[in-house]
């Protein structure tokens, strides 16, 4: 009996070893691993999101020298530095040269000065002319920048959304102005999603990281209510880091690291988000039902199965 049990255990161990070797072989050469390493989703249940962190702000410069500078009222609703505007110009050239500027259907922007300056400079039109009837996207010299006005002609619509603001509270640089003031600075940005003129979100107490993550996930859920499929989101470092850190746990560690890496000033990363829970209600604009006109279309594998079944019954 002992000998029999020993042989059974050896057989099981050998079988498990062979199975392990098989899976290692599959992993190494990519055989039969699609269910583990890849996923397929209908195109109309996906959105392409182009995430952008704002360019360098005056608070970034001083905060790097001394973290206490973030507490200074001097940096209330911090604006871009001259170097930040150069970063904006470089990113603008990139999105034009790679064709991205022609594909984006909507620009969502955090309602703070540095993000709206960045979004306008990167995705807006050319220099605004007084002869143009449309309201400018950004008026001139916003934030004492000496930057010319930016046109809203031939650019996607811009929508300010409070959910994608920076981590809220404690730091004056993350407190916004009244929306009525912003409307004079950025006449073509749509502020209709924001409920109050004054900033009722900012408090002296700093928002916890897990609260930022929860807000970020709520923002992504809201994003699915939009019909646009390719969207740019111009936002902030902490918001991006804490939101994206919630993802990638089902991926290779390198992919998880890539998703959660902190953004540099004026960095752009493109991601695809997938509607696994059927939050979105729209239908595919490219799928085609087939059989038009209708006719016989028995698949060959089904025909083979029928033939095999009929043959076995004879």
Catalytic (active site) residue 54: yes
Question: Which residue has 């003031």 as its token pair?
Answer: 181
Buried b (16+ CB within 10 A) or exposed e, 49-62: bbbbbbbbbbbbeb
Nearby residues of 180 by Cβ (< 8 Å), 6 or more positions away: 197
Q: Which of 166, 171, 207, 236 is catalytic?
A: 166
DSSP state of 246: T
Query: For the chain, first and last CA: distance in Å?
Result: 48
Q: Which of 54, 128, 171, 236 is catalytic?
A: 54
Q: Is 154 left (phi over 0), alpha (psi -120 to 50) or beta?
A: left
Residue pair 236/54 in contact (Cβ under 8 Å)? The answer is yes
Question: Which residue has 């620009």 as its token pair?
Answer: 107
The pair of structure tokens assigned to 254 is 């390198």
Please provide residue 35's backbone torsions phi and psi, each rounded to the nearest 5 degrees. -65, -25
* Residues with catalytic function: 54, 166
């Amino acid at each position: 009996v002992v000998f029999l049990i020993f042989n059974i255990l050896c057989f099981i161990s050998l079988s498990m070893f062979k199975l392990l070797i098989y899976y290692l072989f599959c992993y190494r050469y990519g055989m039969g691993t699609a269910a583990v390493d890849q996923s397929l989703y209908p195109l109309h249940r996906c959105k392409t999101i182009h995430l952008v962190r704002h360019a360098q702000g005056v608070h970034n410069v001083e905060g790097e020298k001394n973290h206490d500078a973030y507490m200074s009222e001097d940096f209330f609703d911090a604006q871009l530095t001259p170097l930040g505007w150069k970063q904006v110009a470089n990113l603008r050239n990139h999105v034009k040269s790679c064709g991205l500027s022609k594909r984006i259907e909507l620009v969502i922007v955090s309602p703070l000065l540095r993000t709206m300056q960045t979004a306008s400079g990167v995705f807006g039109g050319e220099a605004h002319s007084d002869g143009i009837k449309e309201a400018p996207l950004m008026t001139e010299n916003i934030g004492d920048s000496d930057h010319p006005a930016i046109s809203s002609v031939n650019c996607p619509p811009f929508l300010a959304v409070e959910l994608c603001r920076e981590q809220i509270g404690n730091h004056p640089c993350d407190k916004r102005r009244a929306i009525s003031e912003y409307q004079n600075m950025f006449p073509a940005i749509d502020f209709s999603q924001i409920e109050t003129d004054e900033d009722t979100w900012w408090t002296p107490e700093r928002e916890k990281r897990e609260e930022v993550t929860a807000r970020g996930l709520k923002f992504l859920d809201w994003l699915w209510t939009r019909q646009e499929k390719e969207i740019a989101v111009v936002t902030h470092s902490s918001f991006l880091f804490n939101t994206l850190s919630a993802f990638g746990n089902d991926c290779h560690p390198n992919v998880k690291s890539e998703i959660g890496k902190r953004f540099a000033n004026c960095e752009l990363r493109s991601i695809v988000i997938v509607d696994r829970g059927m939050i979105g209600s729209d239908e595919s604009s490219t799928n085609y039902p087939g059989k038009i006109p209708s006719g016989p279309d028995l698949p060959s594998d089904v025909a083979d199965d029928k033939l095999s079944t009929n043959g076995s019954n004879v």
